[in-house]
């Protein structure tokens, strides 16, 4: 795993490993046992902020659009992937619960005006307390087909009025703000998309419900409604001129192309944990004398390494400002399936022990299923890759 990783990142990995043993896995097991997300006032989050976690990836500076990326920033995405994989090895649900702007960071960074970045990401440069941001695209009737969102946005003087419902938004009820995707006209499809930063306490934002899940229980997946929600016009992400270029949907997809390799490598982390636990159990039960067991364990290790390289390739392209739609789709489509194979093998080796519900592999088996769903299902991503293969036009 250390191939091509710089010394500073290796040092951070050691810190994450120590944090994982003392905090991340115990907090994840506690949340799974209690069946609820880790509360925002938990001492763990205070500890994270004190240690420098919970910050934005935005540098706090604005450069010219044609200015080359600083050398220090090239490689930042892959470094993020390396750290995120290790965090997810200890517990992916806890990793998503970490304070910070979360999935709201990429769209604000890539689409926001300089003033919007200062307003919404500035507090995450040196956070004074645990803070969260959130991202809300999914709706009860629009999951994988994000072009079908129905949340309506109507201009009313110096405000926009939003009406609709969102679901499965991570950490939304505790967030300072939520990036909400809406449409000015459903008949326009992707051309009608707009993104708004809706701040906590905005009139009409409410009905928060934390959904019950089979796994990844340490972070909240929240549904909420927007009822005549009045959002200031200056909270339209990117301003009106951004959407004159029909860039709303492109902005959403750019955010997904940045986060899909991240979700993929998180799945690799879960798969590594399942493989290590399965290997340990097989050794304890004297199962390693069976060549079939050894072969399947090695196959999982080989496939996990291949999935990691797919994620790293997509990250490398992102770091160098190159298109990575296909590579991001590959990473997200492949890695969760491999991780599920690792957890499934572990459950097979456990046998009846797995049915007791008290072994880490059983928890990982429940956790990993969501990885094929979030940030675009495997089926949808395979459609994206197939359309590109036969050179069909992008819809």
pLDDT by residue for the chain (395 residues), tens digit each? 455 578 888 998 999 999 999 999 999 999 999 999 999 999 999 999 999 999 998 988 765 444 444 444 567 888 889 999 999 999 999 999 999 999 899 899 989 999 999 999 999 999 999 999 999 999 998 877 777 899 999 999 999 999 999 999 999 999 999 999 999 999 888 889 999 999 999 999 999 999 999 999 999 999 999 999 999 999 999 998 888 765 555 555 566 677 889 999 999 999 999 999 999 999 999 999 999 999 999 999 999 999 999 999 999 998 888 989 999 999 999 999 999 999 999 999 999 999 888 999 999 999 999 999 888 888 888 988 998 889 886 65
Give the count of alpha carbons within 13 A of 363, CB side only.
23
Is 83 exposed, middle or buried, given 0-12, 13-18 or 19+ CB atoms closer than 10 A?
middle
> What pTM value is reported for the model?
0.88
Give me the domains of the chain, ranges plus CATH numbers: 1-80+95-245 (2.40.110.10), 248-389 (1.20.140.10)
Catalytic residue selected from 21, 234, 375, 395: 375
Active site includes 115?
Answer: no
pLDDT at 39: 97
């Amino acid at each position: 795993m250390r191939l091509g990783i710089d010394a500073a990142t290796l040092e951070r990995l050691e810190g994450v490993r120590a944090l994982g043993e003392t905090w991340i896995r115990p907090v994840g097991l506690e949340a799974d046992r209690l069946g609820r997300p880790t509360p925002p006032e938990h001492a763990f989050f205070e500890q994270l902020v004190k240690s420098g976690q919970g910050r934005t990836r935005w540098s706090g500076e604005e450069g010219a659009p044609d200015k080359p990326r600083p050398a220090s920033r090239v490689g930042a995405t892959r470094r993020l992937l390396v750290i995120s994989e290790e965090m997810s090895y200890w517990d992916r649900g806890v990793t998503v619960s970490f304070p910070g702007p979360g999935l709201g960071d990429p769209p604000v960074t890539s689409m926001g005006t300089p003033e919007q970045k200062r307003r919404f990401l500035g507090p995450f440069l040196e956070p004074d307390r645990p803070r969260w941001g959130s991202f809300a695209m999914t709706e009860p009737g629009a999951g994988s087909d994000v072009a079908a969102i129905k949340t309506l946005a109507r201009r009313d003087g110096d405000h926009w009025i939003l009406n609709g419902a969102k679901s499965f938004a991570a950490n939304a009820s505790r967030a300072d703000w939520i990036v909400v995707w809406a449409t000015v006209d459903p008949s326009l499809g992707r051309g009608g998309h707009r993104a708004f930063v809706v701040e906590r306490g905005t009139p009409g934002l409410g009905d928060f419900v934390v959904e019950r899940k089979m796994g990844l229980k340490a972070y909240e997946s929240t549904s909420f409604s927007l009822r005549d929600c009045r959002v200031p016009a200056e909270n339209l992400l990117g301003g009106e001129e951004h959407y004159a270029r029909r860039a709303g949907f492109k902005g959403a997809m750019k955010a997904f192309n940045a986060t899909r390799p991240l979700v993929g490598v998180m799945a690799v982390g879960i798969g590594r944990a399942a493989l290590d636990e399965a290997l340990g159990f097989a050794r304890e039960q004297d199962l390693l004398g069976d060549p079939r067991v050894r072969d399947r364990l090695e196959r999982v290790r080989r496939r996990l390494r291949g999935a990691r390289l797919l994620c790293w390739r997509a990250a490398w392209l992102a770091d160098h400002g190159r298109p990575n739609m296909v590579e991001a789709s590959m990473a997200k489509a492949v890695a969760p399936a491999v991780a599920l194979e690792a957890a499934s093998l572990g459950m097979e080796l456990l046998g009846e022990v797995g049915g007791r519900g008290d072994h880490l592999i059983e928890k990982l088996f429940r956790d990993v299923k969501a990885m094929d769903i979030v940030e675009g299902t495997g089926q949808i991503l395979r459609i994206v890759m197939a359309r590109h293969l036969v050179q069909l036009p992008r819809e």
